[in-house]
């Protein structure tokens, strides 16, 4: 769909900002069709968007990157969405097993400031981008929101992603925490059980810890690295907006 590369992103964003989350997703399907996927983290925002796929009757793929380091609860939630809602969830895997990666680099990359970025690239970014490029997919939807702060505070509904020569849509970019909670409760949507155990942000088990009262919601991500360096990681960069996108 080469014509999609010529989208007037400024005018489209102006229109999408005035639309509902459902209308934004309808716009994506209407313009990109089967070239549209949802990238799911299996966190609360992903639960909302996966339920949207169900209510809209979409057969588009939902991509879940299985790093090999996930909590067992994360994998169980993925399977629950498949069974309950009959969604087309595709699990993507890194080229190397954990053992192969450790043998290749001689260490557990995630334990080191200079290794974490490469670990996330190999086990998250590469599988995702390879799938998108190999299947010529031009639009991914993700659950990032402005209220998460940091670089995400500047999120627009639609973002160009040159890595796939396409775009990323943020259907719920302007939703509050209260809107997320209300939607999940009203629609009886399953959520990651660790959210109720002081894990507001959940990644790989080896790099995620609970958050204490008063801490930033992302304080539990890569805590072991951020406690020893001011240059510790903030994001895994699978989302272009978290890297050079904003």
Q: What is the pLDDT of residue 245?
A: 38
Give me the half-sphere count of Cα atoms (radius 13 Å) on the Cβ side of residue 229: 12
Q: Residue 183's CB: how many other CB atoms inside 10 A?
A: 19
What residues does 141 pair with on adjacent strands? Answer: 38, 169
Tell me the percentage of the chain whose pLDDT exceeds 70. Answer: 96
Please say if the pLDDT value at position 2 is more than 50: no
Q: What is the pLDDT of residue 60?
A: 97
167 is written with which tokens?
């775009």
| Contact yes or no for 42/192 (Cβ under 8 A) | yes
Inter-axis angle of helices 98-105 and 113-120, to 10 degrees? Answer: 140
43 is written with which tokens?
């966190």
Give me the half-sphere count of Cα atoms (radius 13 Å) on the Cβ side of residue 236: 24
Q: pLDDT tens across 176-211, in order?
A: 999 999 999 999 999 999 999 999 999 999 999 999
Q: What is the pLDDT of residue 6?
A: 72
| Contact yes or no for 168/239 (Cβ under 8 A) | yes
109 is written with which tokens?
């990359």
Q: For residue 221, which of 242, 240, 241 has the smallest C-alpha distance? A: 242
Q: Is residue 244 part of a domain?
A: no
Q: How many domains does the chain have?
A: 1
Tell me the percentage of the chain whose pLDDT exceeds 90. Answer: 88
Q: Is residue 28 part of a domain?
A: yes
- Kind and range of the H or E element at 44? helix 44-56
Q: Is residue 245 part of a domain?
A: no
Alpha helices by DSSP H, 86-212? 98-105, 113-120, 126-134, 177-186
CATH number of the domain at 182, please. Answer: 3.40.50.620
Q: pLDDT tens across 88-113, in order?
A: 999 999 999 999 999 999 999 999 99
Dist. CA 78–CA 41, nearest whole Å: 9
Mean confidence (pLDDT) of the chain: 94
Q: pLDDT tens across 122-157, in order?
A: 999 999 999 999 999 999 999 999 998 888 888 999
Q: Is residue 121 part of a domain?
A: yes
Q: Is residue 101 part of a domain?
A: yes
Residue 97 lies in domain:
2-197
Q: What is the pLDDT of residue 5?
A: 52
């Amino acid at each position: 769909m080469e014509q999609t590369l010529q989208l007037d992103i400024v005018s489209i964003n102006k229109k999408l900002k005035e639309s509902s989350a459902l209308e934004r997703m309808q716009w994506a399907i209407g313009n990109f069709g089967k070239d549209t996927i949802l990238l799911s983290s299996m966190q609360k925002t992903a639960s909302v968007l996966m339920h949207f796929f169900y209510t809209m009757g979409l057969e588009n793929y939902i991509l879940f990157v299985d790093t090999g380091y996930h909590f067992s609860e994360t994998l169980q939630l993925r399977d629950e969405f498949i069974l309950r809602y009959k969604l087309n969830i595709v699990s993507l895997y890194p080229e190397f097993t954990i053992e192969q990666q450790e043998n290749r680099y001689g260490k557990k990359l995630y334990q080191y400031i200079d290794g974490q970025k490469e670990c996330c690239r190999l086990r998250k970014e590469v599988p995702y981008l390879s799938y998108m490029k190999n299947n010529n997919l031009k639009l991914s939807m993700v659950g990032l929101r402005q209220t998460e702060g940091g670089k995400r505070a500047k999120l627009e509904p639609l973002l160009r992603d040159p890595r796939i020569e396409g775009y990323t849509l943020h259907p719920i970019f302007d939703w509050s925490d209260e809107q997320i909670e209300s939607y999940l409760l009203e629609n009886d949507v399953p959520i990651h059980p660790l959210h109720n155990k002081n894990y507001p942000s959940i990644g790989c088990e080896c790099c995620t810890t609970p958050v204490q009262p008063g801490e930033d919601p992302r304080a539990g991500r890569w805590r072991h690295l951020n406690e020893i360096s001011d240059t510790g990681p903030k994001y895994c960069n699978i989302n272009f907006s978290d890297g050079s996108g904003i």
